[in-house]
Structure 1
Amino acid sequence: MSDIKVRAKLEGNETVVKCLMNHPMETGLRKDSKTNELVPAHFIQEVICKWKDQVVLTAAWSGGVSKNPYLSFKFIGGAVGDPVEVSWKDNKGESQTETSQIA
């Protein structure tokens, strides 16, 4: 159903991480145009990003984030070849994790 595309690049002493998460991100407030019934809420609630098993970013999201969210952030440190892991959990208990190496 969902996947995460992660790219991490070392720029000086900062690591720039960019990720695209494939997820419907339904608020629970939109009506289906065919049935006129509310589409059930289905959105990412928590995003955790790690560098070498050290948490460098935690985000709490809600239904107000757009479909297929894009996330970009920087952190100090990292070296070429180090692993960067991005994970999310949604309100239906589903989760996804992807790991990439710093380029």
Structure 2
Amino acid sequence: MARVLINLPKAKRGEIVEIRTLIQHPMETGYRPKGDGTSFPRDIIRNFVCKLNDIEVFRADLFPAIAANPFIAFTIKAEEGGTMTFSWIDDRGTSQTETADFIVE
């Protein structure tokens, strides 16, 4: 799909941490007209899921009002470390998954 940036800080056990993601995507709403009077087809990221060790910790459903290159930030309480999996799915069914190590000291 596109280039992804993930900011996943190290954390101390019990600490609340902010996780930030940014994905490069045009987020076409389906309302913008072409020169011939038709509209560009809708193509937005409609779903984002974050899992820690295969347990879902955050989910977001996105809608056409979201800007291009959506930035998503959320917080979690650092109880255990492990592998975080970030997944995006767009209207065309294209998906992208990235992983990162979440370190809890």
TM range (shorter): 0.7 to 0.9
Q: Give the TM-score normalised by structure 2.
A: 0.83
Q: Residues 37, 46 of structure 1: CA spacing in aligned structure 2 closer, same or farther, 3 A cutoff?
A: same
Between the two proteins, the alignment pairs up a number of residues equal to: 101
| SS of the residue 1:66 aligns to | coil
3-state SS of paired residue (2:9): strand
Deviations 1:41-75 (A, max 9, x none): 00011110011211110111111110000011110
**Structure 2 match to 1:64:** 65
Amino acid corresponding to residue 45 of structure 2 in structure 1: I
Distance 1:75 1:49 in 2: 11
Alignment check: 8 A CA contact 2:27 2:68 kept: yes
- Give every structure 1 segment of 4 or more consecutive aligned residues whose post-TM-superposition deviation is greater than 4 Å: none
Aligned residues of 1:10 and 1:78 also touching (Cα < 8 A): no
User: Counterpart of 1:21 in structure 2: which amino acid?
Assistant: I
> What's the counterpart of residue 96 of structure 1?
96
Does the 8 Å contact 1:14/1:74 carry over to 2? yes
Return the offset for 1:102. Answer: 2.8
Name the aligned partner's letter for residue 8 of structure 1: L
Partner of residue 41, structure 1: 42
Percent identity between the aligned chains? 28
Q: 1:98 to 1:78 in 2, by over 3 A?
A: farther
1:52 aligns with: 53
